[in-house]
Amino acid sequence: MNAEIISVGTELLLGQVVNTDAAIVARALSGLGIDLLHACVVGDNPQRLKEAVETALARSDLLIVTGGLGPTTDDLTKETTAAAAGRKLVLHAESLERIKTYFNAAAVTPNQEKQAWLPEGCTVLQNDNGTAPGCAFTAESGCTVIMLPGPPSELEPMLLNRAVPYLKTMQQAVIVSHNVHIYGMGEAPVAMVMDDRMDGENPTLAPYAKEGECYLRVTAKAATEAEADALCQPLIQEIYQRLGEYIYSVDVESLEEVVVAELARQGKTLATAESCTGGLLAKRITDVPGASSVFHMGAVTYANAAKEALLYVPHEILAAHGAVSEETARAMAQGMVQRSGSDLAVGITGIAGPDGGTEQKPVGTIYIALSDGKDTWVTKRAPIGRTKSRDWHRHCAASQALDMVRRYLLGLPVAPEK
């Protein structure tokens, strides 16, 4: 099955928004084993949209159109697409009722009502996060057409909860994918370790990069979900055999989710003492709903005086070794364990750039310490290769801190042997 995406919206052509919708849809299609061959952006222009839809209906088995389902005069996806596909629009009573309920009104404006007009005979895709329903139907040409709303917060749930199940019913086979998330080894060495398994047909194995880390996607196809999953498992086991301690999860997207869950499982608490990451580590931990059961206190000690006042870092250490040193990181972590009463504490100090680097301590030099009140481990990040941004250095330092906590909780080596 060949697919095509048309993203509708002049704001995309003006660069006002990034086309997140296309990536969300593309990822879902990849997980379904559907080949996406074309993805285009069209402005709120009926003629160009009509041409793009006609081209897609002729060359693709599946067309997904995003955007332009709303109540304004710019929203013309449905009428244009339906017309090109040979369907007329009819009023869907249930959708109209839901729109009235949303506005808590007995009647709504014609613009708002427009959203309840859908291609005759289509499968209506309910919108649980906005007013405009989506739809799915098969055009005269045999191409399946799915229309989804533009805002990602509306598109993603509708896609995953309604459109994907719809597509699965059309598939002979079932596709199952698992993502094996890795920290501490880059995409290239990981690909080398798994090289002999990269050309498999079923399951397939593909490497993907994320900021400062990577993951391996295992995908298999079979008659049922259970059979497809069973095809994935031996390869996942093989990956564990070879990459073991570097794997932080299967299908859990981030280190922070894994760490918060493991802390909760073990009934342990973590505190943070941050200098160069400036609150980013605490922010990532508290991004996870329920973090309050494992995280109670963090400090952002951006100046030396703050390190002394909040964390009891001895003045002598700062004077002798400087703020950016193994000794200071160690003292920050140890001080935070005492101050917070938490089981564990992380201390991070470094130079995120772009300024502040010296020859001895260039931009990207970051020390990360983990203390459990008895022992303390320190790792060091040093800059390599091309210049990285301030954001990148801070993100990676926070990730490394989370990985050290993960390793501690699982009894894995926290820092390389000296």
Q: Which stretch binds a copy of itself (CB under 8 A): 10-18, 63-71, 220-228, 410-418?
A: 10-18
Q: Which stretch binds a copy of itself (CB under 8 A): 65-73, 259-267, 295-303, 400-408?
A: 295-303
String of contacts with a copy of itself for each residue 304-323, x by CB under 8 A: -xx--xx-------------
The residue among 250 and 310 lying less far from a copy of itself, judged by its C-beta, is 310
Q: Is 232 in the site for a copy of itself (CB under 8 A)?
A: no
Q: Is 27 in the site for a copy of itself (CB under 8 A)?
A: yes
414 and 398 in contact (C-beta within 8 Å)? no
Q: Which stretch binds a copy of itself (CB under 8 A): 12-20, 71-79, 176-184, 197-205?
A: 12-20
Q: Which stretch binds a copy of itself (CB under 8 A): 33-41, 141-149, 229-237, 374-382?
A: 33-41
- Report, in Å, the least distance between residue 141 CB and a copy of itself: 20
Q: Which residue has the tokens 């109540």?
A: 71
Give the H or E element holding residue 180.
strand 174-182
Give the H or E element holding residue 126.
none
How many CA atoms are closer than 13 Å to the CA of 183, on its beta-carbon side?
A: 25
Q: Which of 71, 186, 278, 373 binds a copy of itself (CB under 8 A)?
A: 278
Name the residue among 76, 86, 150 with its Cα closest to residue 119.
86
Site for a copy of itself in 190-229 (CB under 8 A): 206, 208-209
DSSP conformation letters of 194-212 = TGGGTT-SSSEEEEEEETT
Q: Is 90 in the site for a copy of itself (CB under 8 A)?
A: no
- The residues, any chain, with a CB within 8 Å of residue 153's CB and separated by 6 or more, are 129, 130
Q: Which of 56, 62, 299, 366 binds a copy of itself (CB under 8 A)?
A: 299
Q: Is 105 in the site for a copy of itself (CB under 8 A)?
A: no
Name the residue among 171, 144, 120 with its Cα closest to residue 57.
144
Task: Please report which residue ranges of 118-194 form alpha helices under DSSP H.
Answer: 152-158, 164-170, 187-193
- Report, in Å, the least distance between residue 248 CB and a copy of itself: 19
Q: Is 49 in the site for a copy of itself (CB under 8 A)?
A: no
CB burial of 115-145 (b: ≥16 within 10 Å; e: otherwise) equals bbbbbeebbbbebeebbbbbbbbbbebebbb
- Report, in Å, the least distance between residue 40 CB and a copy of itself: 5
What are the tokens at 57? 């209906």
Q: Which stretch binds a copy of itself (CB under 8 A): 41-49, 115-123, 140-148, 248-256?
A: 41-49
The residue among 12 and 255 lying less far from a copy of itself, judged by its C-beta, is 12
Q: Is 328 in the site for a copy of itself (CB under 8 A)?
A: no
| Count of Cβ atoms closer than 10 Å to residue 95 Cβ | 21
The residue among 16 and 241 lying less far from a copy of itself, judged by its C-beta, is 16
- Report, in Å, the least distance between residue 36 CB and a copy of itself: 4
- Report, in Å, the least distance between residue 296 CB and a copy of itself: 4
How many residues line the site for a copy of itself (CB under 8 A)? 75
Determine the Cα angle at 355 with ends 349 and 359, to 5°.
80
Distance CA 325, CA 368 (A): 9
Site for a copy of itself in 349-408 (CB under 8 A): 353-355, 386-387, 389-391, 394
What are the CB-based long-range contacts (under 8 Å, 24+) for 95-98? 95/124, 95/126, 95/133, 98/126, 98/131, 98/133
String of contacts with a copy of itself for each residue 117-156, x by CB under 8 A: ------------xx----------------------x---
Distance CA 23, CA 240 (A): 28
- Report, in Å, the least distance between residue 32 CB and a copy of itself: 11
Q: Is 168 in the site for a copy of itself (CB under 8 A)?
A: no
The residue among 8 and 122 lying less far from a copy of itself, judged by its C-beta, is 8
